[in-house]
Amino acid sequence: MAIGSLAGRIALVTGAGSGIGRATCAALSREGASIIAADKVGKNAKLTIQSLKGDVAQNISVEVDVKDSSSIQRMFGELKKCFPKPPSIIVNSAGITRDAFLLKMEESHFDDVINVNLKGTFLIIQAAAQALIDANTSHGASIVNIASIVGVHGNIGQANYSASKAGVEALTKTAAKELSKFGIRCNAVVPGFIESPMTDAVPVKVKEMVQAQIMVGRFGKPEEIAEVITFLASSRSSYINGTCIEVTGGCRL
Ligand SMILES: NC(=O)c1ccc[n+]([C@@H]2O[C@H](COP(=O)([O-])OP(=O)(O)OC[C@H]3O[C@@H](n4cnc5c(N)ncnc54)[C@H](O)[C@@H]3O)[C@@H](O)[C@H]2O)c1
């Protein structure tokens, strides 16, 4: 993508303190967007902002809990004071896992994962779209959600997580249908297995088994997901809407 293709755009990235969210901030910033790095762990969001190269004057970090609508309202209130218009790129990368076999899974761990991954994505979409519509700046905006290949096929030990990510795909398609009349596109990236703190905890033996199912023969890098997110965020993908793009290295799960 040409350098500067996102000049003048403001991008809100949740889960920006780590992994795919942090790599997305770097890619969007490289293309000229101002970055709002939002994360539950404020100090990690700050580190993301500090790691950005180039003119960083327009970038800020903010602490937010995406499962909490009042925290989101507070964040949008703060953003109003910092920027002349609402973000027109929204990337929902905040996510958690709480893995266990279905028969052993605690109800609270099912709720936690649905609340962050699915409800959190819904709450951010709702607040961001409303802010854009209120400011009359919605045309050309792009929302990018992060689903997962295990939401497509299911995965042992991830009843909560796979269900949350299948939900993100359906939410994406519905949001696109409802928001297109305001000029807002909504798509999802569907990553396979990506090297990040989220997958660091996976035992080596399991990683080797998974890797054998990936045509490219390795886990992906956060940057490889960030590139697709950046494309979906830009007007170069102006005719892509309501879709979920698999970025898995050819995963045969
Ligand atoms: N790593 C993978 O293999 C993989 C594969 C498919 C999809 N994904 C998805 O990609 C996204 C990013 O994953 P990652 O690998 O970068 O994980 P990560 O653990 O490195 O980063 C997730 C970030 O989300 C933040 N977060 C968690 N709960 C939050 C909350 N309630 N409010 C705000 N921020 C919160 C965390 O603090 C962390 O900084 C997630 O949605 C994940 O489910 C990851």
Q: For residue range 12-70, what is the model confidence (pLDDT) as tens digits?
A: 999 999 999 999 999 999 999 999 999 999 999 999 999 998 777 789 999 999 999 99
Q: Cβ(41) to ligand 1 under 6 A?
A: yes
Q: Give the position, in ligand 1's atom list, of the atom nearest the Cα of 116.
A: 31
The pairing of strands 244-247 and 60-63 is unpaired
What is the 16 CA–ligand 1 centroid distance (Å)? 8
176 lines ligand 1 (CB under 6 A): no
Residue 202 to residue 155: CA distance in whole angstroms: 13
- Residue with the larger pLDDT of the pair 186 and 58: 186
Q: Which domains does the chain have, with CATH numbers?
A: 10-247 (3.40.50.720)
Condensed to tens digits (0 to 9), the pLDDT of residues 235-247 reads: 999 999 999 999 9
pLDDT digits (tens, 9 = 90+) for 99-146: 999 999 999 999 999 999 999 999 999 999 999 999 999 999 999 999
* Alpha carbons 219 and 245: distance in angstroms, whole number: 17
DSSP conformation letters of 73-118: HHHHHHHHHH-SS--SEEEE-------B-GGG--HHHHHHHIIIII
pTM (whole model) above 0.95: yes
Q: Which of 131, 39, 198, 78 is nearest to 25 (CA)?
A: 39
Left, alpha or beta for 54 (phi > 0: left; psi -120 to 50: alpha)?
left
How far, in Å, from the CA of 200 to the mean position of ligand 1? 12
Report whether pLDDT(77) > 70: yes
- Is-catalytic flag, 239? no
User: Ligand 1 within 6 A of 123 CB?
Assistant: no
Average pLDDT of the chain is: 96
The answer on pLDDT for 3 being more than 60 is: no
Instruction: Give the single-character DSSP code of 214.
Output: B
Q: Are 249 and 21 in contact (CB under 8 A)?
A: no
Q: How far is the CA of 175 from the centre of ligand 1 (A)?
A: 21
* pLDDT bracket for residue 2 (50, 70, 90): low
